Every structure is written in structure tokens, then in C-alpha cells.
């Protein structure tokens, strides 16, 4: 906990923790004959879960896009919550 306060080490420590979690999940999946699928979550909030089109932040820069919580897909017109949409895209990719 104290090492996480060191801004030089925090990222490496956090990455090691995720790696350990993934190792444990993989072990359990192997044990029970299941398959672990890892999905890269990058850009999943920009892909429409309804039509699959990547909307590239709707022309906004990164900081403007992070402020947008809900958006309408210009391709299919569906109204999307950014976080729920990202979860649905990750589920579809998995």
C-alpha cells in the first residue's frame, strides 16, 4: 500500500497485481476446463455496440471525449451510455 504512493513505482506495482490476477484466473480456467479470453479494452467506448461502427471520439479530442457520458451513434442513431456501451462491446469481443 505504501509503495503505491511512490509515483515512480505505482504503475509497475499495479501492472504486477493485474498480471497475478490473470495468472490465477488462467489457473482456475485450466483446472475447470474453461477458456479465459482477454479483451483489450482500448477504444471500446467509441465502438457502437449496436452496429459495430468505430466513431473515433465523434471528432472530439481526448479530453473532450472523456467528458461525454452519453452519445448518439451517427451511423445507426442509437443513444448510448459510454460506460455501458463499452461493457457491451467487451462482452461481444469476448
Q: What is the pLDDT of residues 70-83, one digit of tens each?
A: 989 988 999 999 99
pLDDT at residue 26 tops 70: yes
- The pairing of beta strand 79-81 with beta strand 70-72: antiparallel
- Residue 89 CB neighbour total at 10 angstroms: 22
- pLDDT tier at 68, thresholds 50, 70, 90: confident
pLDDT at residue 4 tops 70: no
- Listed as own residue / partner, the contacts of 55-59 with beta carbons closer than 8 Å and 24 or more positions apart are none
Which secondary structure element, helix H or strand E, spans residue 81, and what is its range? strand 79-81
- Predicted model pTM: 0.68
Average pLDDT over residues 1-17: 71
Amino acid at each position: 500500500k505504501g509503495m503505491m504512493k511512490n509515483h515512480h513505482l505505482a504503475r509497475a506495482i499495479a501492472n504486477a497485481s493485474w498480471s497475478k490476477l490473470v495468472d490465477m484466473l488462467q489457473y482456475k480456467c485450466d483446472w475447470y476446463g474453461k477458456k479465459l479470453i482477454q479483451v483489450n479494452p482500448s477504444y471500446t467506448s467509441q465502438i457502437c455496440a449496436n452496429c459495430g461502427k468505430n466513431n473515433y471520439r465523434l471528432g472530439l479530442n481526448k479530453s473532450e471525449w472523456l467528458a461525454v457520458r452519453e452519445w448518439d451513434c451517427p451511423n445507426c442513431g442509437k443513444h448510448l451510455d459510454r460506460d455501458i456501451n463499452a461493457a457491451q462491446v467487451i462482452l461481444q469481443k469476448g
